[in-house]
Chains A and B, each alone.
Chain A
């Protein structure tokens, strides 16, 4: 057998765009960049997806996910969650990350995931907690995923969320969306080949995306939370 069928089916379930965690509400800066004239076609979209993956997800979200996945208990997970909060200077980005994370955690709470149930108790008592990367680790543990599989589904749902947002914003069509996903798939696979050192600290450099998300409240009409 070339792959673990149960693990793969779990990945397909968690990575499905129909997964009921509200991922469709977030464009992670695409809407703002398009409004500010910095995103108009597939080539620019691919570059922004690459920035998101390389300069934020791989160096920050993935690092936090790995720490939370290995955390001994809910208290240790919460410590990583507070670090995620402190490491996100933009209020709009923090709010988006928490909303997405809490929605995902809510699904697994209803599915009776034991760690999700326990961690949700802490999240509901501290407004700083519930960031997406940390919750992806919690849910991945409940779903029986390996760390590598949890990372993969985290990176892939970011890609599908971005591409889906671009389609709904009218920046690309459905066929171009598949081309963008294919390019992003290659990049994600390359990034996953390299393992961050155990003592890696979360870091990012996505100034345009950060600014575009933070400028959200200045816009009169928005489709997306971020």
Chain B
């Protein structure tokens, strides 16, 4: 999006910092239709992780909407962000299309789970969405994105246009991963009878061995009926890319939930393993090892509580 378009866009602009071993919101700017209420520390095993639910007053994306989100995660923070529910994308006039841009900046040792609910594309909807993730080499992220189609008249009319881009960079530089989908007036046959499609990206420091995580994820996806999916190593040792096609949206949701659980479980195991290993390695032996730079977000355990600022 160019500067002019960015300034016209309705914005949600949040930054997060780590204070007293917890993640808190440091900057909180938003304008209609975005609404942000209370955020929570609700994970018993990760009490410092802040869970944020972004709401939109309209509950939908309309033809000429221009929406922009920016999230900045400071060093050592942990954030899980979702929204209030699946977002309807309504018809756009022939010359118009809705635009949504999301900038995610994840600093050293921080951890982001960006888990927006799927998009429901109505007949004649036109949407261009971009997620730009800049993730420090020792930071972690899980990003999901999905869409389904719905004709309220019960017919088989489809959306008009969808352009969806996910771009990953490590501290600036050339894109390491860029998935771009572009569909214009799709024919029904293109979907092969499937009704929902999704992607998930797990971004990890390069030092991690991905084989076991990949195997766990693949096995979990195989057990979900109505789902056709695969897990594969991302370019530039950036983590894992997961592609999903499902007969129905609920199977995509099941898959995302499994992915989230396995991702968290594995991350905790790795961090515990690194901690044990760290204890047995002297400072002289350790040298520089990215695996030893654990996210500060997982190093403190305690009772869940609401955010206090």
Contacts and interface: CB of A to CB of B under 8 A. Distances in A.
Interface of A: 36, 38, 47, 51, 55, 59, 82-83, 85-94, 128, 201-205, 207-208, 210-212, 214-215, 218
Contacts of A83: 175, 178
Contacts, number: 79
Given A59-B182, A204-B181, A128 B245 contact: no
Tell me the dominant secondary structure on chain B's binding face: strand
Contact of B230 (A94, A203, A214): A214
A89 B180 contact: no
A interface, by DSSP: helix, strand, loop or mixed?
helix
Nearest to B180: A203
**Contact size class for B?**
20 to 34
A87 B179 contact: yes
A128 B235 contact: yes
Contact of B180 (A87, A92, A215): A87
Given A47-B189, A208-B228, A214-B231, A89 B245 contact: no
Contact of B228 (A88, A201, A211): A211
B236 A214 contact: no
Given A90-B241, A211-B229, A214-B243, 15 more contacts: A36-B228, A38-B192, A83-B175, A86-B174, A87-B179, A87-B180, A89-B201, A89-B241, A91-B233, A128-B236, A201-B180, A205-B181, A205-B190, A211-B228, A214-B232
A108 B291 CA distance: 43
A218 B243 contact: no
Interface string B141-183: 0000000000000000000000100000000001111111111
B234 interface: yes
Contact of A85 (B179, B229, B235, B245): B235
10 contacts: A88-B235, A89-B234, A90-B230, A90-B243, A91-B234, A202-B180, A204-B181, A205-B182, A207-B244, A211-B245
A214 B178 CA distance: 17
B251 interface: no
B197 interface: yes
